[in-house]
Amino acid sequence: MVKEYIVTVDGKPAGRVVGRERLGEIAPLVAEESEVFVVYDANAAEVAAEVIEAVPGVRGSIAIETSEEDKSMDTVLLIERSLLEAGASRKALVLAVGGGITTDLAGFAASIYKRGVRYANVPTTLLAQVDAAVGGKTGVNFEDYKNMLGVIVQPVFTFVCADALRTLPRRDLLSGAAELLKTFIIENEDDHYGRAVRWLAEGGAAAELQELALAAAGVKAAIVSRDPFEAGERRKLNLGHTFAHAIEHEALRRGDDITHGEAVAMGIVLAARLSDALGVSAGLEARLAADFAAAGLPTRAPYPVETLAGAMDKDKKAEGSLVHFVLAERIGSVLIRDLTVAQALKALTL
């Protein structure tokens, strides 16, 4: 079983994604560190306590709140202040223990402290294990825009451990499941997609989920290594996200409670519908909708596509009037097609 992937930037190793079954196995990864500062999600305090116990060089820790409102410069400054007060030098390693909000915040805080210290991630949500904590995108929300301020800096390592998910609520697990399935729709070695659907539908051992999460993190690591700054191939990882962002935007406007993963699941099904409509695939929407439903994920956006199209026009990933739509030919193969929102809408409503 593969236990490690390397992220490279310009062909040079820049970070590792490591899979281990127990939290205590983090110790060898930080054995050489003399100044570890832990930034952890208050909701993942139990996991953080175990990590802190296993890491001998911990010199300080700070618990943070992790709503999207807390994903702000204010929280970054809280982290900076705690690093300063604890006497962190340029040798410091900031260790983020939490979901994507925590890893995005801690990575960004580390990247500007004393002009940049290293950071590493112990993701405690499935979403962060397969997506947010891998690839080096960090940042905060600003002026109503998500992830508006930030930098791309690779973490020294991302520690993928099934144990870190043991207190995660089911709904948050499922939110990450959407990204897990998305990754395997992009690349489906060893039928990881089918195995993930079965695990989600029927349940299974934590170790198997960890193997799948690590494999998905590995797919992301490989794509990021080939395209660290999203000039081309990395856009594939946005499968379903153009629609998902529009769904989230509309949900926010109406005060509806839809998680990112739920929006991604609905968004992938819409992307499959668009793929079918454009003749890129055949019967993909029905197949994915059936699999997602079995996995416990929602499949139908509760808003009309016309409404979503309006929000999509404002998507920050759009260049000019063209949007990079990620379409799927089949499970394991996706492609990017530049279309205007009007062209996509026409295909979806024919």
Q: Catalytic amino acids?
A: 115, 137, 179, 220, 230, 234, 238, 241, 245, 260
In this structure, the number of other CB atoms found within 10 A of the CB of residue 310 comes to 13
Site string (5-44) toward ligand NAD, x via CB under 6 A: ------------------------------------x-xx
Q: Residue 135 interacts with ligand NAD (CB under 6 A)?
A: yes
- Per CB under 6 A, the segment of 10-18, 123-131, 206-214, 276-284 that binds ligand NAD is 123-131
- Per CB under 6 A, the segment of 96-104, 202-210, 224-232, 326-334 that binds ligand NAD is 96-104
Q: Residue 264 interacts with ligand NAD (CB under 6 A)?
A: no
Subset of residues 42 to 71 that bind ligand NAD, contact rule: CB under 6 A: 43-44, 47, 66, 71
Distance, CA of 82 to chain centre? 26
Tokens found for residue 46: 């139990």
Alpha-helical regions (H) of 55-156: 73-85, 100-112, 126-127
Q: Residue 161 interacts with ligand NAD (CB under 6 A)?
A: no
Q: Please work out, in degrees rounded to the nearest 5, the angle formed at the alpha carbon of residue 291 by the alpha carbons of 17 and 125.
A: 30
Pick between residue 147 and residue 340 the one whose CB is nearest to ligand NAD.
Answer: 147
- Residue 53: half-sphere exposure toward Cβ, Cα within 13 Å: 9
Which residues, at least 6 apart from 18, have a Cβ–Cβ distance to it below 8 Å?
3, 4, 29, 157, 158, 159, 160
Residues 14/2/195/216 CA torsion (nearest 10 deg): 0
Pick from 35, 50, 172, 211 the residue near ligand NAD by CB under 6 A: 172
Distances (CA, A) of 222 to 72, 178, 216, 217: 30, 20, 10, 9
State the nearest-atom distance from the C-beta of 328 to ligand NAD, in Å. Answer: 19
Residues at the interface with ligand NAD (CB under 6 A): 41, 43-44, 47, 66, 71, 98-102, 104, 124-125, 127-128, 131-132, 135, 137, 146-147, 164-165, 167-168, 172, 175, 260
